[in-house]
Amino acid sequence: MTENGFRAEEIDTSRPHPARIYDYLLGGKNNYEVDREAGDRLAAAAPEVWSGVRANRDFLRRAVRYVVGSGIRQILDIGTGLPSSPNVHEIARELAPDVRVAYVDNDPIVNTYANVLLRGSDATSIALADLRDPRAILDHPDVREVIDFDEPVALLLVAIVHFLTEAEEPERVLATLRDGLPAGSFLVLSHATGDFADRSAAQAVYDNATATLNLRSRAEVERLFDGFTLVEPGLAEVPFWRPDAPPRTRPGNIGYYGGVARKTG
């Protein structure tokens, strides 16, 4: 039994995990051979994945700065993945040192690494939980330790909802999370799409992973923002969402949509 309450044998290293594949594609070292092999197959099927994950990470940075600049002082980051500096709390606290952040992931390895990173901080926490059970996330004591749901929250779902199948009802999951947030809260969401190219071979890489990849169209991603009001420029390809400088890519070259929206009622 580890200090986090799960057994070592519960860590599945026989199949690639989305968080560890993503870590590999970002140049991280917290992954296994099975994850690196999956990442290489993914890049062979969709070569733009290398620039895509970085564009998605850059979108995360800009979105966090936007919500903190809009007055948000607490962030719930679901599907956080393995720590990759700058992490969300580091980005947020460059603007406001009092921001509180709760990280959530379903991979025990993420939980272990994040606990080491966050040790000694009362303003950050890490919860081992799964997006498929949103109510458990909202009620999780490690989330409640730093998040006050009577005050506005920025909910981060960055490159995670596309790992929910239709049978797992992503719109229901989003509705449960939305209903747990007070008015003035924000949703930051990015999602992989096949709108610009046939990505069936890339999807197949995840068939043996711990979660499958489920690409969605622009209209399907927009529905995930139901109950929120998108801020300008609305749902956009991630390099084109409030870029700090003119994007170095052309439209349709990065297979991620991203948006930030506010709950007004």
User: Tell me, what's the pLDDT at 184?
Assistant: 98
What proportion of the chain, given as a percentage, has pLDDT over 90? 70
- Which stretches in the chain have pLDDT values below 50? 1-9
Instruction: Classify residue 90: in a domain, yes or no.
Output: yes
User: Tell me, what's the pLDDT at 95?
Assistant: 97
User: Tell me, what's the pLDDT at 4?
Assistant: 42
Instruction: Classify residue 256: in a domain, yes or no.
Output: yes
* pTM assigned to the model: 0.92
User: Tell me, what's the pLDDT at 253?
Assistant: 86
Q: What is the dihedral of CA 240, 213, 9, 87, to 10 degrees?
A: 0
Q: Total structural domains in the chain?
A: 1
Instruction: Measure the CA–CA gap between 114 and 89, rounded to whole angstroms.
Output: 12
User: Tell me, what's the pLDDT at 11?
Assistant: 63
Strands 186-192 and 256-262: antiparallel
User: Tell me, what's the pLDDT at 221?
Assistant: 98
Instruction: Classify residue 3: in a domain, yes or no.
Output: no
Instruction: Classify residue 6: in a domain, yes or no.
Output: no
DSSP assigned state of 168: G
We report the CATH number of the domain holding residue 221 as 3.40.50.150
Instruction: Classify residue 1: in a domain, yes or no.
Output: no
User: Tell me, what's the pLDDT at 120?
Assistant: 64
Instruction: Measure the CA–CA gap between 104 and 70, rounded to whole angstroms.
Output: 23
Instruction: Measure the CA–CA gap between 258 and 75, rounded to whole angstroms.
Output: 17
- Sign of the C-alpha dihedral computed for residues 239, 240, 245 and 250 taken in this order: positive
Domain that holds residue 166: 11-263
HSE-up (13 A, CA, CB side) for residue 224: 29
